[in-house]
């Protein structure tokens, strides 16, 4: 299963839609958004693309009530999880949050195969040693909005746990 990981769209609906459309063309079947969507209108164009989207909020919360209303009217296509999300996708245990420090802490527990975060607008993928004596993948897609950094997102192959940072 291919997964698109995005974050920090900061009301740039056009950038977010471009990344998700590119992900769908590449074969992605779901999206994880690691926060700082800001306005619910930023997610509205994703309805036409048709991939299931899992969203957590960030430190720039925006109007969370509008976010809940959009999700409720999306027939389950867009799911707003709140501060963080525990997901099972493609046979992998995934945790999504906004802040890198929280993400690193959850990666260290060994309870997840992949932990995703955003916030600092730096795209990277690394493995983190965990208390189980193994390693957990930690992925930050950077900022899909391209704020003070290139506009980036990640295409993740959950079958092989391979990750590709892509620029818009």
pLDDT (tens digit, 9 = 90+) per residue, 133-146? 999 999 999 999 99
**Stated pTM of the model:** 0.98
Q: What are phi and psi of 83, to 5 degrees?
A: -70, -35
DSSP code per residue over the chain: -EEEEE---TT-HHHHHHHHHHHHHHTEEEEEE-S---SGGGTTTHHHH---EEEE--SS---HHHHHHHHHTTTTSEEEEES-EEEEETTEEEEE-S-HHHHHHHHHTS--SEEE--SS--EEEEEEE-TTSSEEEEEEE-BTT-SSS-BEEEEEETTTTEEEEEE-
Taking only the tens of pLDDT, the chain with its 168 residues reads 999 999 999 999 999 999 999 999 999 999 999 999 999 999 999 999 999 999 998 998 788 889 899 999 999 999 999 999 999 999 999 999 999 999 999 999 999 999 999 999 999 999 999 999 999 999 999 999 999 999 999 999 999 999 999 999
Fold adopted by 2-167: Purple Acid Phosphatase; chain A, domain 2 (3.60.21)
């Amino acid at each position: 299963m291919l997964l698109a990981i995005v974050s920090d769209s900061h009301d740039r609906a056009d950038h977010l839609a471009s990344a998700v459309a590119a992900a769908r063309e590449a074969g992605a079947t779901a999206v994880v958004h690691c926060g700082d969507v800001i306005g619910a209108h930023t997610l509205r164009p994703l309805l036409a693309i048709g991939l299931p989207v899992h969203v957590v909020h960030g430190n720039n919360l925006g109007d969370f009530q509008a976010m809940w209303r959009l999700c409720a009217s999306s027939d389950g296509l867009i799911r707003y999880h709140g501060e963080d999300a525990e997901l099972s996708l493609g046979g992998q245990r995934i945790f999504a949050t906004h802040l890198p420090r929280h993400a690193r802490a959850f990666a260290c527990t060994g309870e997840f195969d992949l932990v995703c975060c955003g916030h600092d607008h730096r795209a990277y993928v690394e493995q983190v040693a965990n208390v189980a004596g193994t390693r957990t993948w930690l992925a930050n897609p950077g900022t899909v909005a391209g704020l003070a950094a290139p506009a980036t997102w990640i295409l993740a192959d959950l079958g092989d746990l391979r990750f590709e940072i892509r620029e818009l």
